[in-house]
Amino acid sequence: MLHIFPGETLALGPAIVSVRESVVALFRYRQTRPQTVKKGKVRSAQYSGGWGTAFCVVKDRFLVTAFHVLNGGQPRDTVDRFVVFVVPANGNTAFHAPVISFPIERPDLDLAVLEIGSFVTPGIHLPALPVTFSPMPDGASVLTVGFPAPEIVGLNIDPQGSYVGGQFFLKSHANEGIVSAQYPLGSLLVYELNVGWHHGESGGPVVRLDHPLAAFTVMQQYRNIASPHGIVAGPHRGCTLSAIQQDLIRLGATIIK
């Protein structure tokens, strides 16, 4: 039986503007070589890093992402540092805040929840994007927003290992599509989408375009497809957020039907 959502489908432009304000770029970095001094010459420390996307579910505090962006699907390395960036209206300035804890880490679901501290720049806030646990019908219109990973030109880390600035072109990217299929994998409901995403967008929200807007899954992975030329990336997919429903309720997420 087809489930019909109340209200009308929102125009794409205003929906992108609204969702974008709750989405952040997630930067992970670790020191690969410490600073050294040899014959009076300072050799700067070196760092490596990785990028993902997350979205806010409790204003200025809790964010949902894909677990695999924390360390490529492996357990999170406790020496890694994490910073989130907002780029209001995809403008010229990015503002950052530290990740201070990881209240939920579920590698089995490829989901995680992060807690952030205050933004370094006073007056910057991160609004919550509502989430829904209601089932989405095949053919439902969806919107995705994520941050493709930028090429890093410069990175400034202080002696204590805290991020203090950098040079990179960081802009969010929106796309639209539909729910193309859905099926259980064990006890988990998985949605397939006809939307592709770029490296760095994993962890971003997949949002229904019915009013009111709400995220129902996360950009996570793709299904492998056997082709005459070997295994290739197939349909992109994400599991339902109802898999962590009780956790999100406990944390105070904005939940709507």
CATH of the domain at 94: 2.40.10.120
Q: How many angstroms separate the CA atoms of 87 and 170, rounded?
A: 8
The reported pTM is 0.91
4 lies in some domain = no
Q: Are 66 and 203 in contact (CB under 8 A)?
A: yes
Per-residue pLDDT of the chain (257 residues; tens, 9 = 90+): 334 345 566 799 999 999 999 999 999 998 877 777 777 787 777 777 899 999 999 999 999 999 999 999 999 999 999 999 999 999 999 999 999 999 999 999 999 999 999 999 999 999 999 999 999 999 999 999 999 999 888 888 888 888 988 889 999 999 999 999 999 998 899 999 999 999 999 999 999 998 899 999 999 999 999 999 899 889 999 999 999 999 999 999 999 98
1 lies in some domain = no
204 lies in some domain = yes
Burial 70-95 (b: 16+ CB within 10 A, else e): beeeeeeeeebbbbbbbbeeeeeebb
Burial class (CB in 10 A: 0-12, 13-18, 19+), 124: middle
187 lies in some domain = yes
Burial class (CB in 10 A: 0-12, 13-18, 19+), 51: buried
6 lies in some domain = no
Token pair in block for residue 38: 């040899």
198 lies in some domain = yes
23 lies in some domain = yes
Q: How many angstroms separate the CA atoms of 158 and 31, rounded?
A: 12
Closest CA to 106 of 248, 223, 252: 248
> Domain of 165?
12-36+44-251
256 lies in some domain = no
